[in-house]
Amino acid sequence: MLGRLIARPVNVGDSVGKGQLIAAVDPFAAELSVRSATADVATAQAQLVNASGTANRQRSLIESGATTKATLDSAEQGDAAAQAAVVRAQAALAKAQEQLSYTKVSADYAGVVTSVSVQVGQVVGPGQTVVTVARPDVREAVIDVSDDIAGGLQIGMPLMVALQIDPKIKVEGKVREIAPQADAVTRARRVRIILENPPDTFRLGTTITTLIPGPPAKGFRLPATAILTEGSQSFVWHIDPTSGSVSKHKVQIVAKDDGWVEVTGEIKAGVRIATAGVHHLHDGRKVRFDEGAAS
Protein backbone atom coordinates (compact mmCIF):
# COMPACT_ATOMS: atom_id res chain seq x y z
CA MET A 1 0.00 0.00 0.00
CA LEU A 2 1.45 3.36 -1.04
CA GLY A 3 1.27 5.96 1.71
CA ARG A 4 2.94 7.77 4.59
CA LEU A 5 3.89 5.71 7.63
CA ILE A 6 2.05 7.15 10.64
CA ALA A 7 2.87 4.51 13.26
CA ARG A 8 5.54 1.92 13.96
CA PRO A 9 5.18 1.06 17.65
CA VAL A 10 8.01 -1.50 17.71
CA ASN A 11 11.80 -1.32 17.62
CA VAL A 12 14.67 -3.77 17.19
CA GLY A 13 14.71 -6.29 20.03
CA ASP A 14 11.03 -5.91 20.94
CA SER A 15 8.94 -9.04 21.41
CA VAL A 16 5.63 -9.02 19.55
CA GLY A 17 2.59 -11.25 19.83
CA LYS A 18 0.56 -12.79 17.01
CA GLY A 19 -1.84 -10.19 15.61
CA GLN A 20 -0.07 -7.24 17.29
CA LEU A 21 0.07 -4.02 15.29
CA ILE A 22 3.61 -3.36 14.10
CA ALA A 23 3.07 -0.60 11.49
CA ALA A 24 0.33 1.60 10.05
CA VAL A 25 0.03 3.75 6.93
CA ASP A 26 -2.17 6.85 6.69
CA PRO A 27 -5.60 5.36 5.79
CA PHE A 28 -7.24 8.61 4.57
CA ALA A 29 -6.99 7.89 0.81
CA ALA A 30 -8.03 4.25 1.29
CA GLU A 31 -11.03 5.26 3.39
CA LEU A 32 -12.15 7.70 0.69
CA SER A 33 -11.93 4.91 -1.87
CA VAL A 34 -14.12 2.68 0.32
CA ARG A 35 -16.72 5.45 0.71
CA SER A 36 -16.76 6.07 -3.03
CA ALA A 37 -17.08 2.36 -3.80
CA THR A 38 -19.88 2.00 -1.23
CA ALA A 39 -21.80 4.83 -2.88
CA ASP A 40 -21.29 3.22 -6.29
CA VAL A 41 -22.80 -0.02 -4.97
CA ALA A 42 -25.84 1.82 -3.62
CA THR A 43 -26.32 3.62 -6.94
CA ALA A 44 -26.00 0.40 -8.94
CA GLN A 45 -28.48 -1.39 -6.68
CA ALA A 46 -31.03 1.45 -7.06
CA GLN A 47 -30.64 1.34 -10.84
CA LEU A 48 -31.14 -2.42 -10.73
CA VAL A 49 -34.42 -2.03 -8.80
CA ASN A 50 -35.65 0.47 -11.39
CA ALA A 51 -34.53 -1.68 -14.35
CA SER A 52 -36.07 -4.84 -12.86
CA GLY A 53 -39.39 -3.00 -12.29
CA THR A 54 -39.41 -1.74 -15.85
CA ALA A 55 -38.72 -5.22 -17.23
CA ASN A 56 -41.48 -6.76 -15.09
CA ARG A 57 -44.03 -4.15 -16.29
CA GLN A 58 -43.10 -4.77 -19.90
CA ARG A 59 -43.61 -8.51 -19.42
CA SER A 60 -47.10 -7.85 -18.07
CA LEU A 61 -47.93 -5.49 -20.93
CA ILE A 62 -46.70 -7.90 -23.60
CA GLU A 63 -49.25 -10.46 -22.45
CA SER A 64 -52.10 -8.01 -23.04
CA GLY A 65 -50.60 -6.75 -26.29
CA ALA A 66 -50.12 -3.24 -24.88
CA THR A 67 -46.41 -3.10 -25.76
CA THR A 68 -44.04 -4.39 -28.42
CA LYS A 69 -41.50 -7.20 -28.33
CA ALA A 70 -38.75 -4.70 -29.09
CA THR A 71 -39.67 -2.61 -26.04
CA LEU A 72 -39.62 -5.73 -23.84
CA ASP A 73 -36.24 -6.81 -25.23
CA SER A 74 -34.81 -3.35 -24.49
CA ALA A 75 -36.14 -3.46 -20.90
CA GLU A 76 -34.71 -6.92 -20.29
CA GLN A 77 -31.36 -5.82 -21.71
CA GLY A 78 -31.37 -2.86 -19.32
CA ASP A 79 -32.15 -5.21 -16.42
CA ALA A 80 -29.21 -7.48 -17.31
CA ALA A 81 -26.88 -4.48 -17.62
CA ALA A 82 -28.00 -3.22 -14.22
CA GLN A 83 -27.28 -6.62 -12.65
CA ALA A 84 -23.78 -6.61 -14.14
CA ALA A 85 -23.22 -3.07 -12.84
CA VAL A 86 -24.07 -4.22 -9.31
CA VAL A 87 -21.58 -7.09 -9.54
CA ARG A 88 -18.90 -4.73 -10.87
CA ALA A 89 -19.54 -2.17 -8.11
CA GLN A 90 -19.43 -4.86 -5.40
CA ALA A 91 -16.11 -6.13 -6.73
CA ALA A 92 -14.70 -2.59 -6.67
CA LEU A 93 -15.88 -2.20 -3.07
CA ALA A 94 -14.23 -5.48 -2.04
CA LYS A 95 -10.97 -4.33 -3.62
CA ALA A 96 -11.14 -0.95 -1.86
CA GLN A 97 -11.80 -2.65 1.49
CA GLU A 98 -8.84 -4.96 0.90
CA GLN A 99 -6.62 -1.96 0.16
CA LEU A 100 -7.81 -0.33 3.39
CA SER A 101 -6.85 -3.45 5.34
CA TYR A 102 -3.30 -3.10 4.02
CA THR A 103 -2.88 0.22 5.86
CA LYS A 104 -2.39 -1.75 9.10
CA VAL A 105 0.33 -4.40 9.37
CA SER A 106 0.07 -6.99 12.13
CA ALA A 107 2.47 -9.75 13.11
CA ASP A 108 1.57 -13.10 11.56
CA TYR A 109 3.20 -14.89 14.48
CA ALA A 110 4.82 -14.19 17.84
CA GLY A 111 8.48 -13.29 17.53
CA VAL A 112 11.24 -10.76 17.98
CA VAL A 113 11.84 -7.66 15.84
CA THR A 114 15.24 -8.02 14.18
CA SER A 115 15.23 -4.92 11.97
CA VAL A 116 13.22 -1.84 11.02
CA SER A 117 13.60 -0.37 7.54
CA VAL A 118 11.32 2.70 7.58
CA GLN A 119 10.83 5.56 10.02
CA VAL A 120 7.52 7.23 10.87
CA GLY A 121 6.78 9.98 8.35
CA GLN A 122 8.45 8.26 5.41
CA VAL A 123 6.45 7.23 2.34
CA VAL A 124 6.36 3.47 1.73
CA GLY A 125 5.42 1.59 -1.42
CA PRO A 126 3.73 -1.77 -2.07
CA GLY A 127 5.95 -4.69 -1.12
CA GLN A 128 8.46 -2.55 0.77
CA THR A 129 9.87 -4.08 3.98
CA VAL A 130 8.99 -2.03 7.07
CA VAL A 131 9.65 -4.40 9.97
CA THR A 132 11.33 -7.82 10.06
CA VAL A 133 10.13 -10.25 12.73
CA ALA A 134 12.00 -13.48 13.47
CA ARG A 135 10.27 -16.54 14.88
CA PRO A 136 12.07 -17.72 18.03
CA ASP A 137 10.85 -21.30 17.53
CA VAL A 138 12.54 -21.55 14.11
CA ARG A 139 16.16 -20.46 14.36
CA GLU A 140 18.54 -20.28 11.45
CA ALA A 141 22.21 -19.58 10.92
CA VAL A 142 23.20 -17.35 8.01
CA ILE A 143 26.63 -17.50 6.40
CA ASP A 144 28.19 -15.89 3.33
CA VAL A 145 30.55 -18.08 1.33
CA SER A 146 32.46 -17.86 -1.92
CA ASP A 147 31.14 -19.31 -5.16
CA ASP A 148 33.43 -22.33 -5.09
CA ILE A 149 32.33 -23.31 -1.57
CA ALA A 150 28.64 -22.69 -2.35
CA GLY A 151 28.98 -24.94 -5.38
CA GLY A 152 29.87 -27.82 -3.08
CA LEU A 153 26.80 -27.39 -0.88
CA GLN A 154 23.37 -28.92 -1.42
CA ILE A 155 19.92 -28.32 0.03
CA GLY A 156 19.45 -30.60 3.04
CA MET A 157 23.19 -31.11 3.49
CA PRO A 158 24.10 -31.50 7.21
CA LEU A 159 26.52 -28.95 8.67
CA MET A 160 27.93 -28.33 12.12
CA VAL A 161 27.48 -24.84 13.59
CA ALA A 162 29.47 -23.59 16.61
CA LEU A 163 29.38 -20.43 18.71
CA GLN A 164 32.29 -18.17 17.88
CA ILE A 165 32.71 -17.12 21.51
CA ASP A 166 32.73 -20.75 22.66
CA PRO A 167 33.48 -23.25 19.84
CA LYS A 168 32.78 -26.14 22.21
CA ILE A 169 29.06 -25.33 22.00
CA LYS A 170 27.92 -26.87 18.73
CA VAL A 171 24.64 -27.80 17.10
CA GLU A 172 23.72 -29.70 13.96
CA GLY A 173 21.94 -27.99 11.10
CA LYS A 174 20.80 -28.54 7.54
CA VAL A 175 21.16 -26.26 4.53
CA ARG A 176 17.76 -24.76 3.77
CA GLU A 177 18.57 -22.23 1.07
CA ILE A 178 21.52 -21.28 -1.15
CA ALA A 179 21.43 -17.93 -2.92
CA PRO A 180 21.47 -18.51 -6.69
CA GLN A 181 23.68 -15.46 -7.29
CA ALA A 182 26.52 -13.77 -5.47
CA ASP A 183 26.02 -10.41 -3.79
CA ALA A 184 27.07 -7.55 -6.09
CA VAL A 185 29.22 -5.96 -3.36
CA THR A 186 30.70 -8.85 -1.37
CA ARG A 187 30.76 -11.34 -4.28
CA ALA A 188 29.63 -14.00 -1.78
CA ARG A 189 26.56 -16.21 -1.80
CA ARG A 190 24.26 -16.35 1.23
CA VAL A 191 23.47 -19.75 2.75
CA ARG A 192 20.71 -20.32 5.33
CA ILE A 193 21.00 -23.24 7.74
CA ILE A 194 18.12 -24.53 9.90
CA LEU A 195 19.41 -25.34 13.40
CA GLU A 196 18.13 -28.54 14.99
CA ASN A 197 17.19 -28.09 18.67
CA PRO A 198 19.68 -25.28 19.35
CA PRO A 199 20.49 -24.53 23.02
CA ASP A 200 19.47 -21.23 24.61
CA THR A 201 22.99 -19.90 24.07
CA PHE A 202 22.20 -19.65 20.34
CA ARG A 203 20.38 -16.33 20.66
CA LEU A 204 19.27 -14.05 17.82
CA GLY A 205 22.24 -12.09 16.53
CA THR A 206 24.85 -14.48 17.92
CA THR A 207 28.00 -14.80 15.81
CA ILE A 208 28.64 -18.37 14.70
CA THR A 209 31.21 -20.46 12.86
CA THR A 210 30.09 -23.09 10.37
CA LEU A 211 32.18 -26.19 9.90
CA ILE A 212 31.96 -27.27 6.26
CA PRO A 213 33.24 -30.85 5.91
CA GLY A 214 36.08 -31.66 3.57
CA PRO A 215 38.61 -29.35 1.94
CA PRO A 216 37.94 -27.91 -1.51
CA ALA A 217 38.53 -30.51 -4.18
CA LYS A 218 42.00 -30.38 -5.72
CA GLY A 219 41.73 -30.37 -9.48
CA PHE A 220 43.88 -30.36 -12.58
CA ARG A 221 45.52 -27.18 -13.83
CA LEU A 222 44.74 -26.47 -17.52
CA PRO A 223 45.07 -23.47 -19.81
CA ALA A 224 41.79 -21.53 -20.06
CA THR A 225 41.76 -22.21 -23.82
CA ALA A 226 41.08 -25.89 -23.08
CA ILE A 227 37.64 -25.13 -21.63
CA LEU A 228 34.52 -25.36 -23.80
CA THR A 229 31.61 -23.44 -22.27
CA GLU A 230 28.04 -24.29 -23.25
CA GLY A 231 25.46 -22.36 -21.28
CA SER A 232 26.35 -22.82 -17.63
CA GLN A 233 28.29 -26.06 -18.25
CA SER A 234 32.03 -26.51 -18.84
CA PHE A 235 33.67 -29.28 -20.87
CA VAL A 236 37.07 -30.48 -22.07
CA TRP A 237 37.98 -32.66 -25.05
CA HIS A 238 39.77 -35.94 -24.28
CA ILE A 239 42.08 -37.20 -27.05
CA ASP A 240 42.26 -40.94 -27.61
CA PRO A 241 46.02 -41.61 -28.03
CA THR A 242 45.32 -44.62 -30.29
CA SER A 243 42.78 -43.27 -32.76
CA GLY A 244 43.36 -39.54 -32.29
CA SER A 245 39.60 -38.95 -31.97
CA VAL A 246 38.15 -36.60 -29.35
CA SER A 247 35.30 -36.99 -26.87
CA LYS A 248 33.61 -34.34 -24.74
CA HIS A 249 33.64 -34.62 -20.94
CA LYS A 250 32.04 -32.41 -18.30
CA VAL A 251 34.20 -30.64 -15.72
CA GLN A 252 33.73 -28.14 -12.90
CA ILE A 253 35.94 -25.09 -12.61
CA VAL A 254 37.11 -24.66 -9.00
CA ALA A 255 39.68 -21.89 -9.50
CA LYS A 256 40.94 -19.40 -12.10
CA ASP A 257 44.34 -17.75 -12.24
CA ASP A 258 45.71 -15.54 -15.02
CA GLY A 259 44.80 -17.63 -18.07
CA TRP A 260 44.78 -20.93 -16.22
CA VAL A 261 41.94 -22.86 -14.60
CA GLU A 262 41.72 -25.64 -12.05
CA VAL A 263 39.07 -28.23 -12.85
CA THR A 264 37.56 -31.39 -11.40
CA GLY A 265 35.06 -33.85 -12.83
CA GLU A 266 35.37 -36.29 -15.71
CA ILE A 267 39.13 -36.03 -15.97
CA LYS A 268 42.00 -38.23 -14.80
CA ALA A 269 45.77 -37.98 -14.60
CA GLY A 270 47.50 -38.96 -17.84
CA VAL A 271 44.61 -38.09 -20.16
CA ARG A 272 45.47 -35.99 -23.21
CA ILE A 273 43.41 -32.79 -23.43
CA ALA A 274 42.85 -30.55 -26.45
CA THR A 275 44.00 -27.04 -25.52
CA ALA A 276 43.17 -25.14 -28.70
CA GLY A 277 40.31 -24.96 -31.17
CA VAL A 278 37.84 -26.47 -28.70
CA HIS A 279 34.89 -24.65 -30.31
CA HIS A 280 35.55 -26.39 -33.66
CA LEU A 281 35.61 -29.97 -32.33
CA HIS A 282 32.85 -32.56 -32.11
CA ASP A 283 32.66 -36.08 -30.71
CA GLY A 284 34.63 -38.53 -32.88
CA ARG A 285 36.59 -35.91 -34.78
CA LYS A 286 40.24 -36.88 -35.25
CA VAL A 287 43.05 -34.48 -34.42
CA ARG A 288 46.80 -34.53 -34.76
CA PHE A 289 48.97 -34.05 -31.70
CA ASP A 290 52.63 -34.03 -30.80
CA GLU A 291 53.69 -37.51 -29.69
CA GLY A 292 56.37 -35.99 -27.51
CA ALA A 293 54.00 -33.68 -25.67
CA ALA A 294 53.38 -34.33 -21.98
CA SER A 295 50.10 -36.02 -21.07
Query: Which CATH number goes with the domain that contains 31?
Result: 1.10.287
Its pTM surpasses 0.75: no
Q: Of 186, 211, 236, which one is at a domain's C-terminal end?
A: 211
The DSSP bridge partners found for residue 195 are 173
**Whether 231 and 190 share a structural domain:** no
For position 235, what pLDDT does the model report? 93
Residue 162 counted as domain residue: yes
Q: Which of 160-164, 203-207, 212-216 is the least confident region?
A: 212-216
Q: What is the side-by-side order of every strand in the sheet holding 15-16?
A: 15-16, 111-116, 131-134
Question: What is the number of alpha carbons within 13 Å of residue 262 lying toward its C-beta?
Answer: 9
Whether the Cβ atoms of residue 116 and residue 175 lie closer than 8 Å to each other: no
Tell me what pLDDT residue 96 has.
94
2 inside domain: no
Report the 10 Å Cβ neighbour count for 269.
Answer: 6
Domain that holds residue 234: 220-280
Question: Over the stretch 50-100, which tens digit does the pLDDT of each residue have?
Answer: 999 999 999 999 888 888 889 989 999 999 999 999 999 999 999 999 999
Q: If 0-12 CB within 10 Å is exposed, 13-18 middle and 19+ buried, where does residue 138 land?
A: exposed
The count of domains in the chain is 3
- DSSP H stretches of helix in the chain: 28-64, 69-101, 147-150
Single out the residue in 176, 194, 211 at which a domain terminates: 211
Q: What is the pLDDT of residues 99-112, one digit of tens each?
A: 999 999 999 888 88
